[in-house]
Every structure is written in C-alpha cells, then in structure tokens.
C-alpha cells in the first residue's frame, strides 16, 4: 500500500509560523498546511512559498487556510498562534489571552489529528504546552514545547562568537522554563569535546549566560516592533525533523515531568530524546546543588503561571 504523505500543520502564520513553514516546506520533509484566523495571510504566504517550490526543486505541497478542517491527519501540529503583548497589557492579560487561543486551536485540531504530535511555541511557552496537553487529551509524550533548543542555540552562538570557532562545534544543554529563570549548564557545555570551563573564565561564562537569558529581549530591543523569528523557526524545524525522521536527537525541550528531577505534573525544559513517538526518553542529569536550586525555582515559577492560567478569572 502506498504510504500517505507526511503532513505538518503550522497554526499561526505570523513571523515564526511562516518562517517555520518555509523551512519545513523547503526541506521537502512534509506537506505543509499554514493556518491563521486572519483571512488571506496564510493563503498569500503559502502561495508565495509554493511559487518558490520549482526553484527549490520541491515535490511536496504547501497551502494556506482559515479552516482548521484542512489540518486533519497531521503528523505534527506546530502552534505559533498568539497575541503579542500590547501597551497596557499585563503579563497576566497576555497569559489569559494566549491560553484562550490555545484552547480554541487545540480543541479544534486534536480530534482531527488523533495521532499527531504538538510542538508548542506560543509564549509563555511552558504554560501553553501544559494547556495544550490538557485540552488535547494526548499522551504527554506527544506534546512538546519549543524553548530549550532556542536558548541553547543562543548560548552556543555567543560562545562561538567569543572563541571565534564554528557554532556547530559548540554543544550545550539548558534546563528550566523558557524565560529569565532558565538554567544554562556550563558543565554540560563543550567545544568539540573540550569542557567550556577550560576555555573561558567563570566570569566570562557568567556574562554569556546572562546574554543568553536576555536573548529574546536583545532582539526585541533591536527590532523595536517585533520579536525573534529566524532562530525560533529554525529550532522548530530541528524538532520537526528529529520527530519525522526518527532521528532521536537529544534536545532540550519542555516535556512532561512526572517525578523526574523531583518535579510532578509539569511541563518544563529538560533534555529529551526526540523521535517518531515524540518524547522517547527524558534524560536526567546529575546537577550541582546550586543548579538543582535554580531549576526548582524555575519550575515553581512555571507552575505558578499554570495555576494562574487555569484558574477562573476574577
């Protein structure tokens, strides 16, 4: 029997969604459906990308839509839909607004793609991942948040800048929520196998960690009217590829913890093996007491936001 084509739906055709759709389509790894609530935008961006297809030698397809029914039978659903923070809007306002977007997107897509895997990008990402899992009713291994791959890529970039080496030769892991309280791990950072602490002073490493923690804000302060999307989209693509090609890459992602790292019933960033079934394995690292404390602080902050988002609004 002819195998059906692999399908990835990208929900939200803004900067991150459209760029992720481009990377997926350009790689030829899957047919792509690009969805948005705004009429015309997903259709226009998808048509523009389709018209690049012949130049990229592509044999897969891409289409834009305002109808969630077109996402049926997806292998992966990437959720980038959300509202940006507007002036006068508190973080909590944004939390509630995006939680509502998740509710509508996930309740509308999960029944149509019962064997799908969610990759959640919308911020606050760890919280939105937990909500997506609750609404979908999927096994937690099939709901994954994108944050750590991006944070790790930023840290790798700054180390490569500092040492004047190829970014690809820098490897690292980052733990915790995708926010100010993330926990980059210098002792699990190597440059072609050489431990980072042998190459840079503790003070310089601390400065690069600080820059990593503020990596998103640094881009916002430069762009002024938007936030990062090339590196977030590339992070999504690496996760999509690891799942669809069953690469089993070890990537830091928001995954459901049920006792691992002493955390229960919470999605937060940890290293996982990412394969065709989603999270194939959670890797538990030996941590210093200080990193355990920082990770726990980050997890507590995420849990607080989850509770706020799920509580009825007064």
- 27 lies in the binding site for ligand APR (CB under 6 A): no
C-beta of 16 vs 255, nearer to ligand APR: 16
Q: Of these, 10, 11, 255, 279, which contacts ligand APR (CB under 6 A)?
A: 11
CB of 313 to ligand APR, least distance (A): 18
C-beta of 59 vs 225, nearer to ligand APR: 225
C-beta of 12 vs 275, nearer to ligand APR: 12
- 123 lies in the binding site for ligand APR (CB under 6 A): yes
Query: Distances from the Cα of 114 to the Cαs of 4, 32, 73, 77, 100, in angstroms?
Result: 16, 18, 8, 11, 21
264 a catalytic residue:
no
Rounded (5°) CA angle 245-248-253: 110
- 105 lies in the binding site for ligand APR (CB under 6 A): yes
Are 304 and 296 in contact by the 8 Å Cβ rule? The answer is no
- 253 lies in the binding site for ligand APR (CB under 6 A): no
What is the rounded distance in angstroms from the CA atom of residue 12 to the CA atom of residue 20? 10
C-beta of 133 vs 229, nearer to ligand APR: 229
Site for ligand APR in 205-234 (CB under 6 A): 227, 229, 232
CA 161 to chain centre: 24
DSSP-based three-state secondary structure for 143: strand
| Residue ranges with strand state E in 176-258 | 183-184, 190-191, 194-195, 249-258
**Which residue's C-beta sits nearest to ligand APR?**
14
User: Sign of the C-alpha dihedral, residues 104, 7, 146, 251?
Assistant: positive
Query: Distances from the Cα of 61 to the Cαs of 18, 29, 106, 209, in angstroms?
Result: 14, 10, 23, 40
| Residue ranges with strand state E in 62-219 | 62-65, 76-79, 117-120, 143-145, 170-171, 174-175, 183-184, 190-191, 194-195
Q: Of these, 21, 23, 81, 236, which contacts ligand APR (CB under 6 A)?
A: 81
Q: Which of 45, 154, 156, 178 is labelled catalytic?
A: 178
Beta-ladder partners of 117: 76
C-beta of 203 vs 225, nearer to ligand APR: 225
- 12 lies in the binding site for ligand APR (CB under 6 A): yes
DSSP-based three-state secondary structure for 95: helix
- 13 lies in the binding site for ligand APR (CB under 6 A): yes
Q: Of these, 7, 75, 82, 240, which contacts ligand APR (CB under 6 A)?
A: 82
- 133 lies in the binding site for ligand APR (CB under 6 A): no
- 131 lies in the binding site for ligand APR (CB under 6 A): no
- 294 lies in the binding site for ligand APR (CB under 6 A): no
- 80 lies in the binding site for ligand APR (CB under 6 A): yes
Tally Cβ neighbours within 10 Å of residue 51: 9
What is the rounded distance in angstroms from the CA atom of residue 215 to the CA atom of residue 238? 19
C-beta of 186 vs 216, nearer to ligand APR: 216
14-22, 157-165, 196-204, 306-314 -> range binding ligand APR (CB under 6 A): 14-22
Give the count of residues interacting with ligand APR (CB under 6 A): 24
- 109 lies in the binding site for ligand APR (CB under 6 A): no
CA 226 to chain centre: 18
Are 220 and 211 in contact by the 8 Å Cβ rule? The answer is no
The footprint of ligand APR (CB under 6 A) covers 11-17, 36-38, 80-84, 101, 104-105, 121-123, 227, 229, 232
Query: Catalytic site residues?
Result: 178
């Amino acid at each position: 029997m002819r195998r059906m084509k692999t399908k990835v739906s990208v929900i939200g055709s803004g900067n991150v969604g459209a760029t992720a759709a481009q990377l997926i389509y350009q790689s030829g790894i899957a047919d792509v459906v690009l969805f948005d609530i705004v009429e015309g935008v997903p259709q226009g961006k998808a048509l523009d990308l389709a018209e690049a297809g012949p130049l990229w030698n592509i044999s897969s397809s891409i289409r834009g839509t305002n109808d969630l029914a077109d996402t049926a039978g997806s292998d992966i659903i990437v959720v980038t839909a959300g509202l940006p923070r507007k002036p006068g809007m508190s973080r909590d306002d944004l939390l509630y607004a995006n939680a509502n977007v998740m509710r509508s997107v996930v309740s509308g897509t999960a029944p149509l793609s019962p064997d799908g895997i969610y990759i959640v990008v919308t911020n606050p990402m760890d919280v939105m991942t937990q909500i997506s899992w609750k609404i979908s009713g999927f096994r937690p291994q099939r709901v994954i948040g994108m944050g750590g791959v991006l944070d790790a890529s930023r840290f790798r970039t700054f180390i490569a800048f500092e040492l004047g080496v190829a970014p690809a030769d820098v490897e690292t892991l980052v733990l915790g929520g995708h926010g100010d309280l993330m926990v980059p791990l210098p002792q699990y950072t190597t440059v072609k196998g050489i431990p980072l602490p042998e190459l840079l002073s503790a003070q310089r490493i601390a400065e690069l960690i600080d820059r990593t923690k503020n990596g998103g804000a640094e881009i916002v302060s430069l762009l002024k009217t938007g936030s990062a999307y090339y590196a977030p989209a590339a992070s999504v693509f690496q996760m999509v590829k690891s799942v669809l090609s069953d690469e089993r890459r070890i990537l830091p992602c928001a995954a459901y913890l049920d006792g691992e790292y002493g955390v229960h019933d919470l999605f937060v960033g940890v290293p996982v093996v990412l394969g065709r079934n989603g999270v194939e394995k959670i890797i538990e690292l030996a941590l210093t007491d200080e990193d355990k404390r920082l990770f726990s602080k980050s997890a507590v902050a995420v849990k607080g936001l989850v509770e706020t988002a799920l509580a009825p609004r007064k």
